[in-house]
Structure 1
Amino acid sequence: MKKLVVYLTVLMMVCVSNVSVIHGQESSQIELAEGAKSAVLMEHSSGTLLYDKNAHEKLPPASMTKIMTLILIMEAIHQDKLSLNEKVRISERAASMGGSQIFLEAGEEMTVNDLLKGVAVASGNDASVALAERISGSVEGFVKDMNKKVKELGLKNTKFQNTTGLPEEDHYSTAYDMAVMAQELLKYEDITKYTSIYEDYLRKGQENEFWLVNTNKLVRHYPGVDGLKTGYTSKAKYCLTATAKKNGMRVIAVVMGAKTPKERNANVAGMLDYAYNQFATEELYKKNHKMDSIELSRGDIQNLDVVTERPVSLLKKKGEKLDNMKVSIEYESDIQLPIEKGTRLAMLKVTKKDKTLTEVPLVAAETAKKASVWQLYKRTLGQMLHH
């Protein structure tokens, strides 16, 4: 299937101004992350940067590494390669992990659901290793999968050596790359059911009951914050990738290298305040909105719906007037069967005067396999009879 651009006539509204230029000019004139080594403020749906400071500087991400770990965990769950109710046996290696942990013991069994809580809430290194071994067979295999996903996301300044963020040579990321990873993790909407938990218990009622307390205090203290991941090592200092949703707008804020947790939280809160005071979004399409349908002459289904991977929203300054825009769909150059549900098939672009305002992937609404000879015969016969 050749690359194809489909133009849709849409009578909707879009920002009059050249949004990205305005945002860039404004954000360069303000200081929202004083004391931090780097920072990024991103609107989630469009990926527009509202503020950045040394966004592409390579720094140790500490436990924010677990955002990528969580991406691969959620991906495995959504591909039915892992079940929340499944019990995972804890290895000696997982039990021996230092740093933040939920004190797993070798030979113990814990459900994926509880291990996921251990990673998302308490930043458990032991839980991260246990799930990595379950998904990829070994920590080393999982780290390869992490770096493969880095490449798939088009990130140029990230490299992982472990699943946890514990200090290791040549293990680095950037504030911008962490924001893109957060954007990817938030595709799995149920992740915030875990990252928004402030406190909970593992092994409730047992002798070795463990109290989980979220390392991200903004979950309790800033309205709308429902994730995502803190980090700290003596080299990385205090880091946080946070996300909040208010008034229908989700934003992602990243701070790396703050001197104290108080400074880190104040920087993130200040960026969130700036986003919600200055900007708003207008939703054009909801997640899973059907944008097109492609014909599969040799598929087990004849027509495959192409839907939005996430909500399509346009960012605007508060009080800004809107006018017409153009929506186009550009398909991948080589689409072949079988196609798994969720496979990226195209990009939806919203433009004004040849300026791209937002891009959102379009994906397969269901799985399509190659049709059997019998299916093709019946289809051909049906068409002949119809004519």
Structure 2
Amino acid sequence: MKKLASIVVSIVLALVPMNMAFANENGTPMNISSKSAILMDVGSGQILYEKNAHDKLPPASVTKVMTMLLCVEALDSGKIKLEDKVQISDTAASMGGSQIFLEPGETQDVNSLLKGIAVASANDACVAMAEYVAGSVEGFVDNMNAKAKELGMKDTHFANTNGLPVDNHYTSAYDIALMSRELLKHESITKYLTTWMDQVVVGKKQVTVGLANTNKMVKHYQGTTGVKTGFTQEAKYCLSASAKRGDTHLVSATLGAETSPERFKDASNLLNFGFANYESVKLCSKDDNIATLTLDKAEDNKVNLVAKENLTVLIKKGGNKDFTRRIKVSENPNIPIKKGTVLGQVEVYQGKKMVGKVDLVNTKDINKASYLQMLQRVIDSML
């Protein structure tokens, strides 16, 4: 991005005081039995509670959060479509553990495979989608690790797509929260993550297979938005669980619980603590018109810049606070410019501390002005 010019705007909101301290600095608010745990705000990434959050542990099927993220990114980019037909390989059909019993040589659409992953934690569907999206499981796993690096997941290395026991496959509660937060930004995945019961038709004999969501919080916890369970003998019971109430969207991750009820109890306690003590305030929504960029050499010399995504600030419940919004826009960017290019940023400060930011992008392609347009502008300015 070219050099940014900044505009500082003071905004006074009837908000509660900001408290960015970890919850356990004031005494642990709950008894978390899982080996590792974290509570994170989806909007801002703020950590509200952590316990051994960077311990590198096997995640079992919580791995599939990253698998789904790469699949939904491929969908949103137009690389693949929900109605695309995927031929099932011998490798995909041979996966054990949780599955939807795919058969070698049959075809399934992307919609059914994604449903199988999100609802029934299907290992065979993970491999089928990996092969379809990346051409091979190995290539897809490389993409998983590349995405983990991009998201700042420093405690993670993936060795497969589904979390079945294998050497050198690990992550942390913190990293699970990061990739879960990223997945939840894609609204198209919500219908899969929150489906309680469904079915798919598989095999050459077209057998109907019932699906029941492995994440019981979908049915039993108010506002649940996802995301994924996991279990192996080595990993024990793992869970990434998210919920939204009003504008407050939280995600908890727990690893290494001894029983399934314990992981759900831990996740519920974490989310309950977050909703009881914190709330998110939305400062702008995705696609809100934030600034106008003047480009004298562009075909349209006034360019609207909009928020690339929602901008929220997490605050502790209680009194009032002032926030400062600083808008930065590019100076003299090179034209032409493709739609969706980052041309600015909004930063929100509390005092001198930045507590949130969001990129600003253009809503349409920006092309160079013609010679006649430039000449007309010169004449207009003279008149």
Provide TM-score, normalisation by structure 1. 0.89
Cα deviation 1:34-69 (Å, max 9, x = unaligned): 221111111111111111111111111111111111
Which range is displaced more, 212-221 or 161-170? 161-170
Determine which of 374, 378, 381 is the counterpart of 1:380: 374
Contact residue 4 and residue 344 of structure 2 kept, 8 A: no
Partner residue, 2:282? 283
Deviation string, structure 1 residues 260-303 (Cα, Å, up to 9, x no partner):
10000000011111112222222211222222344567777655
Matched to 1:362, the amino acid is D
More deviation in 4-13 or 32-41?
Answer: 4-13
> How far 1:86 sits from its partner (Å)?
1.3
Residue 347 of structure 1 and its aligned partner are, at CA, apart by 4.4
Give the whole-Å Cα distance in 2 for the aligned partners of 1:296 and 1:161: 48
Deviations 1:234-274 (A, max 9, x none): 11111111110113311101111111100000000111111
Correspondence 1:264 to 2:258: no
Contact 2:93/2:103 (<8 A) preserved: yes
Q: 1:106/1:300 Cα in 2 relative to 1: closer, same or farther (>3 Å)?
A: farther
1:202-236 CA-to-partner distances (Å, cap 9, x unmatched) read 12997410101101001001111121011111111
Please give the alpha-carbon distance, in whole angstroms, between the structure 1 residues aligned to 2:232 and 2:331: 44
Counterpart AA for 1:151? K
Question: Alpha-carbon deviations, 1:112-146, whole Å to 9, x = none?
Answer: 11111011111111111111111111111111111
Partner secondary structure for residue 20 of structure 2: helix
Q: Secondary structure at the match of 1:209?
A: strand
Flag structure 2 segments of 5+ consecutive residues without an equivalent.
Answer: none
1:75-86 aligned at under 5 Å gives the runs 75-86=73-84
- Contact 2:108–2:202 (CA under 8 A) maintained in structure 1: no
1:341-378 residue CA offsets vs partner (Å, 9 max, x unmatched): 5555554321111122223x31535463765xxx6445
Letter in 2 for 1:169: D
Query: Residue 60 of structure 1 corresponds to which residue in structure 2?
Result: 58
Q: Return closer, same or farther for 1:190/1:168 CA change in 2, 3 Å cut-off.
A: same
Superposed CA deviations along residues 16-48 of structure 1, whole A, max 9, x for unmatched, are: 644113xx2555511535221111111111111
1:304 CA displacement: 4.8
Equivalent-residue separation in structure 2 for 1:232 and 1:261 (angstroms): 9
Instruction: Calculate the aligned-residue CA RMSD, in Å.
Output: 2.7
Give the one of 125, 128, 131 matched to 1:127. 125
Partner of 1:246: 245
Q: Is 1:273 paired with 2:267?
A: no
Q: What's the secondary structure of 1:157's corresponding residue?
A: coil
2:359 corresponds to: 362
Partner of 2:211: 212
Change (3 A) 1:8 1:291: farther
> 2:343, 2:362 within 8 Å by CA — same for their partners in 1?
no
CA distance in 2, matches of 1:70, 1:297: 43
Distance 1:127 1:340 in 2: 35
Q: Which amino acid aligns with 1:313?
A: T
8 Å contact 1:14–1:314 — kept in the other structure? no
Question: Which residue pairs with 1:89 in the alignment?
Answer: 87
Contact 1:304/1:364 (CA < 8 Å) preserved in 2? no
Shift of 1:8: 3.6
Counterpart residue type for residue 91 of structure 1: S
Contact 1:33–1:268 (8 Å) recurs in 2: no
**Aligned partner of 1:43: which letter?**
D
Question: How far does residue 334 in structure 1 lie from its aligned partner after superposition?
Answer: 11
Deviation of 1:338 after TM superposition, in Å, equals 6.9
Q: 1:38 aligns with which of 28, 36, 51?
A: 36
Structure 2 distance, partners of 1:100, 1:333, is 53
Determine whether 1:233 maps to 2:223.
no
The 5-angstrom pairing of residues 188-227 of structure 1 reads: 188-203=186-201, 207-227=206-226
Superposed, 1:286-297 pairs within 5 Å as: 286-294=285-293
Deviation at 1:190, TM superposition (A): 2.0
- In structure 2, what is the Cα distance between the partners aligned to 1:333 and 1:232? 52
Alpha-carbon offset, residue 316 of structure 1:
2.1
Q: In structure 2, what is the Cα distance between the partners aligned to 1:63 and 1:286? A: 33
Partner of 1:4: 4
Contact 1:340 1:364 (C-alpha < 8 Å) held by counterparts: no
SS at the partner of 1:277?
helix
**Is the 1:90–1:106 Cα contact (8 Å) retained in structure 2?**
yes
Code of the residue aligned with 2:114 in structure 1: it is L
TM-score by length of 2: 0.90
**Counterparts of 2:236 and 2:298, CA distance in 1:** 53
**Structure 1 residues not aligned, in runs of 5+:** none
